[in-house]
A and B are shown apart, each in its own frame.
Chain A
Amino acid sequence: MKFGIITFPGSNCDEDAYNAVTQSLGATGIRLWHKDHDLQGVDVVILPGGFSYGDYLRAGAIARFSPIMREVVAHAERGGPVLGICNGFQIACEAHLLPGALLRNASLQFVSETVTLRVENADTRFTNRYVGGQLLRIPVAHGDGRFTIDLEGLKELEGEGQVVFRYSDATGDTTDAANPNGSLDNIAGIVNKQGNVLGMMPHPERAVDALLGSDDGLALFESMLAAVAA
């Protein structure tokens, strides 16, 4: 099983994602460049974190028009899995692979800390190795992570079980205090309606080994492995 990790100019979590896939998961990682026109037959595409194109205009707005994004959109339309982490989530929203948008943190401050996530939907190809309601410790590091969508869009996300992760406190309550960026309804990660594109602000690739402080993110990669193998 092959994971393709795309590097845009300004990506800075591509190597972490590559290491998570190859070292922690033991799968094959393929490094892809934003100017490539070929996904090299990868099964899963990872849009990594960072500051593609310096976040100019809006985070993800310019990366969305990178040559390889045409292939990524086609891959997603064929039902291929796409994981957008942090800046990758922003790119996926800008590319209309996911609904909504990520805006400046309500605090106006960059947040870099380990947060608690509550698994809202463990029945996706990204979360099948978790259980519903499970609490995970995963780092966040972003300035533009406030998930926003209109009321109609929010109802749709809720109704279709598309909210996958929410920020919560240590007891699983989705309080304002546990919300690092002011995201609507503490939303930390969503899937598209078809369930093959996940976007999340937290960094599971930085939580794949106890040595990193948490290995709670590893099951996300194991879930994709299980889903693609199935």
Chain B
Amino acid sequence: MTRYRVAVHIVPRKGILDPQGKAVADALHALGFAAVGDVRVGRHLVLDLDAKDEGDASQRVRAMCDKLLANPVTEDYELAGVTVA
């Protein structure tokens, strides 16, 4: 077993109104960042866990996302990195 560090991005699914993202986009536009289009505000989680290898670590974190970390009705998640902790 090796200790891995896995980062996860969880964001509101496309097509679901994200008022936080919209507020941030509006603020950026007001500050002159006119090039900004869509903004979505989500969560970034960093988990340390023991696993056999990188694939095992990813699989375990996906199971966690499916069960608890992300809401399958409204959110998408992606693993943003798996490294040895």
Residues of A within 8 A of B (CB): 57-58, 61-62, 65, 93-94, 99-101, 103-108, 146, 148-150, 182
Contacts and interface: CB of A to CB of B under 8 A. Distances in A.
A148 B68 contact: no
B20 interface: yes
Interface in B14-39: 16-17, 19-20, 23
B66 to A, nearest CB: 12
B59 interface: no
B73 interface: yes
Contacts, number: 36
Contacts of A57: 43, 68-69
A146 B74 CA distance: 12
Interface of A (DSSP majority class): loop
9 contacts: A57-B68, A57-B69, A58-B71, A61-B71, A93-B73, A104-B20, A105-B19, A106-B19, A148-B73
A150 B74 CA distance: 9
Interface of B: 12, 16-17, 19-20, 23, 43, 68-69, 71, 73-74
A182 B17 CA distance: 10
Given A65-B68, A103-B16, A182-B19, 14 more contacts: A57-B68, A61-B68, A62-B68, A93-B73, A94-B71, A100-B73, A103-B17, A104-B19, A108-B19, A108-B23, A146-B17, A148-B16, A148-B74, A149-B73
A107 B19 contact: yes
Contacts of A58: 71
A57 B64 CA distance: 13
B61 to A, nearest CB: 15
Nearest to A153: B73
Contacts of B74: 101, 103, 148
Nearest to A151: B15
Between A57, A65, A93, the greatest number of chain B beta carbons within 10 A of the residue's beta carbon is seen for: A57
Contacts of B23: 108
Contacts of B20: 104, 108
